[in-house]
Amino acid sequence: MTRIVDARLRVLRAPVNDGIAMSFSPLRDRSIVLVEVSTEDGLTGRGESWINYPPWAAEERVATLRDGVFPLLLGEDATRISALHRRLCARLDPLGRQWGAPGPIRQAISGADLALWDLAGLRAGAAVSTLAGGRVRDRIPVYASSLGPEDVGEKAHECVEAGHTAVKVKLGFGRAKDERNLAQAREAVGPGVTLYADANQAWDVAEAVAMAPLLRDAGVEWIEEPVRGNPLAGLEELHRRTGLPIATGENLYGAGEFRDFAASPAIAVLQPDLAKTGGLTEALAVCALAEAHGKSVLPHLYGGAVAFAATLQLAAMAEAVAGIEYDVRDNPLRDPLLAGPPVPERGMLDLPGLPGLGVRLDEQAVAAVTETEVAAPSHT
């Protein structure tokens, strides 16, 4: 028994230079919620909760963590990660259903779950990936994410220069622009580099079917979230009519929601996001599902330093992980917050092994981007 004695959060925020466009809404700054859970033995674990959208997500997450998650953690045994995870879901999911916001609930739980795993590693004096069944690898391929909708050729060329061997292009900005961007990307990287594409749910099934010849001509290996609302039946229809391999999962919450997608022949790649779907606990369960159905996992990763670190630990411990999404856009909340950030070389990343989530945060850098700090309500 190692009692949880404190829980806090910080909203981290920093402006970006390159005004990242998505098919649904631009991302004008980078922001994450850092969750900090402390135990009676004097250790503090860190987790990350995803708040990229909507722009006011931080306000919601502060309230959900402070008033929903933290009171359920205080006084509990931090070593019982699975049991605590289940307790959080059992108590908070019903509120999420009534609210119509099950996702934000799981995004909040993700931050707590990752902090508990970090604590487990810190307590053991070992990287999380060396606990339980141990490591399955020490390096992992990455793909460069995400290019577009402007200057795709130039950026793709930069990625190849930096040694990347796989690149993802953003689509869903209208057929003419999408066609131009796919052609520019393929021309810039040549035939030897793998191309993926992400539509961020921009199309209906008919529009996605109409895009299939362009995707095939550019040699796109899989299309991510091609259909609005991500309905499995729609994805299956698209796959039936075109044969396109499909990737999805960044908007699925918990291994339970992945079950039918993992079993479907339409879905080639599962993409759980550790800071959204429920931390390492759910991501490991998704990897087990993927392995059972012979599917690959390429975790979604578009966040900060702690989500990056946790995803690398998952890659080190789960056989099903075939690669990692590597954000090549301006990200002041990833590498600048890490002491010695892992950097890919020739499309591969060495998986770090420091105690906890494998990395060390630069505390001064974290303090410099801290917008708000909030403590748990006092525990009685």
Q: Which residue's CB is nearer to Mg ion, number 70 or number 196?
A: 196
CB of 286 to Mg ion, least distance (A): 16
- Choices 122-130, 154-162, 196-204, 260-268 (CB under 5 A): range interacting with Mg ion: 196-204
Distance separating alpha carbons of residues 122 and 112, to the nearest angstrom: 15
Q: Which residue's CB is nearer to Mg ion, number 118 or number 198?
A: 198
What are the start-end ranges of the E strands in 109-211?
139-147, 166-170, 194-198
Tokens coding 140: 């992992």
Q: Which residue's CB is nearer to Mg ion, number 115 or number 275?
A: 275
CB of 103 to Mg ion, least distance (A): 15
Determine contact, residues 117/82, Cβ cutoff 8 Å.
Answer: no
Distance from chain centroid for Cα 379:
32
- Tell me the residue nearest to Mg ion as measured from the CB: 198
One-letter amino acid at 157 equals: H
CB of 169 to Mg ion, least distance (A): 11
Determine contact, residues 325/353, Cβ cutoff 8 Å.
Answer: no
In degrees and rounded to multiples of 5, residue 200 shows phi and psi of 45, 40
Distance separating alpha carbons of residues 22 and 110, to the nearest angstrom: 24
Q: Which residue's CB is nearer to Mg ion, number 198 or number 282?
A: 198
CB of 146 to Mg ion, least distance (A): 7
Distance separating alpha carbons of residues 28 and 37, to the nearest angstrom: 29
CB of 52 to Mg ion, least distance (A): 11
CB of 210 to Mg ion, least distance (A): 20
- Choices 80-88, 130-138, 191-199, 323-331 (CB under 5 A): range interacting with Mg ion: 191-199
Tokens coding 32: 């994450």
Closest by alpha carbon to 76, among 62, 92, 88?
88
Question: Which entry of 157, 293, 300, 379 is annotated as an active-site residue?
Answer: 300
CB atoms within 10 A of CB 241: 13
In degrees and rounded to multiples of 5, residue 43 shows phi and psi of -95, 150
Task: Indicate if 293 belongs to the active site.
Answer: no
Q: Half-sphere exposure (CA, 13 Å, Cβ side) for 194?
A: 14
- Choices 25-33, 133-141, 195-203, 342-350 (CB under 5 A): range interacting with Mg ion: 195-203
Q: Which residue's CB is nearer to Mg ion, number 9 or number 57?
A: 57
Q: From residue 69 to residue 88, what is the string marking binding to Mg ion with x (rule CB under 5 A)?
A: --------------------
CB atoms within 10 A of CB 86: 12
Residues with Cβ within 8 Å of residue 101, at least 6 apart in sequence = none
Tokens coding 185: 């990307």
- Segment (H or E) for 48: strand 44-50
CB of 365 to Mg ion, least distance (A): 27
Q: Which residue's CB is nearer to Mg ion, number 36 or number 198?
A: 198
- Segment (H or E) for 4: strand 4-20
Q: Which residue's CB is nearer to Mg ion, number 26 or number 340?
A: 26
Size of interface with Mg ion, in residues (CB under 5 A): 1
- Choices 1-9, 197-205, 349-357, 371-379 (CB under 5 A): range interacting with Mg ion: 197-205
198 binds Mg ion (CB under 5 A): yes
Q: From residue 149 to residue 188, what is the string marking binding to Mg ion with x (rule CB under 5 A)?
A: ----------------------------------------
For Mg ion, the binding residues in 226-255 under the rule CB under 5 A are none
- Choices 192-200, 291-299, 308-316, 363-371 (CB under 5 A): range interacting with Mg ion: 192-200
Q: Which residues are catalytic?
A: 300
- Which parts of this chain interact with Mg ion (CB under 5 A)? 198
